[in-house]
Amino acid sequence: MEKDFEVGLNMINLSGKEAIVTGAGSGIGRGICSVLALAGANVLVTDISGKGAEDTLKHCGYGDKFRARQMDVTNENSIDEIISEHIKDRKKIDILVNNAGIIGSEGWSNREIPNSQDWTEVYEVNVRGVVKVSERVSKEFQNQKRGKIINIASIAARQGSPDSPHYSTSKAAVVSWTQSHALQMAAYNVNVNAVCPGLIWTPIWESIARKRSQFGGSLETKGLEGKKLFDQTVKAWVPLQREQTPEDIGNMVAFLASDLAENITGQSINVDGGRFTN
């Protein structure tokens, strides 16, 4: 797998760059960290689970290119502590990837309709978490007069969802925040973009599959469960007829973080096998 995307990274040089990735304890975040390191960046892996962050270090295996810290994106003190520690230790930040996200509160997949706690927790992590981390890191970027921010949204932002409207709404808000923050930061030579992942088998999609197997999905997936439901969804929805991977998202993040994307800002780019074309 590494050789496949190493070739594509030959033109992307992030050597000496300092990157911070939130929600990097598994799934898409872990894939992003791996690709950024392959492109030459030093990566601070952060996650609400300190163990998850450490597991990503073990999984990636790139030695001193990685450090891990527990960080809660809903807690301003936690954010400031980790960012301040990083600046003291590494002297700069070049790349921020806001990847931390959830799809609901505990037990979400067992509820046909999201409750108020689902809405509250998803908003706090997926929207306010992105804003809080961005605003703290942007103070450093304003002083540096440079920097790259990449927010991980979702193709759920492109179309409403009957079973997870709270999640779709939160990701649409991330797209809107990306546009607004790009305009705020342009005067400081800072690029702000978003990536909208398509269908990727992650813990979030596992919970979606559990819910849809209980309460019914589309006609194409009726009666299916787990990965079989996911695979059939890919077949029905994705023109390229294949699922996406965490490394696919990492490749786009690495591009947007590189000098090749100097004149791209305020954009939300789908990596979804052609599911959406706008």
Catalytic residues: 167
Beta bridge partners of 195: 152, 269
168 Rama class: left (phi>0) / alpha (psi -120 to 50) / beta:
alpha
Quick one: residue 211, left, alpha or beta (phi over 0 = left, psi -120 to 50 = alpha)?
Answer: alpha
Please, what is the angle between helix 246-257 and helix 27-38, to 10°? 50
- 126 within 8 A of 171, measured Cβ to Cβ: yes
Contact call for residues 93 and 140 (beta carbons, < 8 A): yes
Nearest Cα neighbor of 133 from 93, 105, 171 is 93
Report whether 140 contacts 88 (CB < 8 A).
Answer: no
